[in-house]
Amino acid sequence: MEKGKKGRIGILTGGGDIPGLNQAIRGVTLRALSEGFDVVGIRRGWAGLVEYSREDGADNSEWVLPLTRDLVERHAYSGGTFLHSSRTRPSAVPAKDVPAHLKDKYTAEKNDLSDEVIANLEHLGVDYLVPAGGDDTLSYGVELGRRGFPVVAIPKTMDNDVPGTDYCMGFGTCVNRTIEMARQVTSSAASHERIVVLEVFGRYAGFTALLPTFAGAADRCLIPEYEFDVEKLTELLVADRNGRPEGFSVCIVSEGAMPAGGEMVFMGGEKDQYGHAKLGGIGQRVSARVKELSPQFNGGKKIDMISMNLGYLVRSGAPDAIDCIVPTAYGNLAVDLILKGQTGRMVALSDGKYGSVPIAEVVATKKVVDVARCYDTERYRPRYDGVAGLPMMVLGGAG
């Protein structure tokens, strides 16, 4: 690539896919090209900068992709990320994942390849790096910034739990899809007079369960921030069902929700490089237990259930309007910061206004539902009083 007159910007996407990533890539690329930069996409997130080889004649086309106007326009309205993604953490790469050309140099059980990442960025001629990701992906962006590399981050996660911003790319589409699917399944639930339990993403933060319930897509919701009593939940859901002429009720459960005295439910023991095992299954457990307990509150008659894990259905496909507009703005904001020489920042939305915060905020705090203000712990549903002052898409705050 011929380097732009103002330098070269690199973009990567890490962690889970969400609708809106391709819009952010487009936003950065089109603005950067118009300002005199050239742009390179790092493929497969941080893995691309770990796997890249500086050896003479090395073919790095699997890890690096020059970005052009035509390319980013072609992918703009599709879901996911055409640069692909990974959950690689360069500061803690297991021995089995060390690239072949580095295995003689790095032999520990866990290896910090940050020096290789910085050397690879310099070899690529990248002057500024724009990582788009959640708190895991961006936490390594914080590390690069501490080591002196210019980073401007873009927050992305369908859970909306990156601290420092009211809104993360992907959240709006996730909420929209959850509402749509919850409303669709009610026709079957009503036909058979059943109770519906829908499991959604949300490891530590319950925004993806709380917001659709706030909008009327469910009667009750369970969130990671507050342990639930399944007997109380059953009583509420049975009362909801029996009090509705159509004869159904709906509960949305965050994957990280826990019963009183219990633990998170995992799909397996394998962990990614950030130490996270894959969650999943709490919805089925809640459904089975509600069915078992239902006769106590339904005149001795058991109530049949519908249990679904919405999972990837709400993070796949094209972005909604918000996840076209916000990522485009975030991409342009990132280039604005680069032009001003303001790196070590994360673009953000706060109080309805675009801006930025120090990227270190990503690791300085946690962003979770404000239970006291936003969640009715007796009724397992959102609070509807005290909405004044809350961000439009968050029952909580920036962190």
* Residue carrying the six token digits 């319930």: 213
Q: What does the pLDDT read at residue 387?
A: 87
What is the tens place of the pLDDT at every residue in 342-363? Answer: 999 999 999 889 999 999 999 9
Q: What does the pLDDT read at residue 237?
A: 98
Q: Is 0.75 surpassed by the pTM of this model?
A: yes
Strand pairing category for 128-133 and 152-155: parallel
Instruction: Pick the catalytic residue from 159, 219, 240, 323.
Output: 159
CATH assignment, 7-169+317-364: 3.40.50.450
Do the Cβ atoms of 209 and 252 come closer than 8 Å? yes
Residue 303 identity: I
Helices within the chain (DSSP H only): 21-35, 46-51, 69-75, 114-124, 135-146, 171-192, 207-214, 230-242, 282-293, 322-340, 361-364, 371-374
Alpha-carbon span 197 to 84, nearest angstrom: 32
Alpha-carbon span 397 to 248, nearest angstrom: 33
> Fold match between 7-169+317-364 and 174-314+370-382?
yes
Architecture of domain 174-314+370-382: 3-Layer(aba) Sandwich (3.40)
* Residue carrying the six token digits 């059943």: 194
Based on the residue annotation, tell me whether 159 is a catalytic residue of this protein.
yes
What is the tens place of the pLDDT at every residue in 193-240? Answer: 999 999 999 989 999 999 999 999 999 999 999 999 999 999 999 999
Which residues in the chain come in under a pLDDT of 70?
A: 266-280, 395-399
The domain segmentation of the chain, as residue ranges, is 7-169+317-364, 174-314+370-382
Would you state the structure tokens that stand for residue 244, as one six-digit string? 């509705």
Q: What does the pLDDT read at residue 386?
A: 82
Paired with 67 in beta bridges are 39
DSSP assigned state of 258: -
Residue 270, judged by CB atoms within 10 A of its CB (0-12, 13-18, 19+), counts as exposed
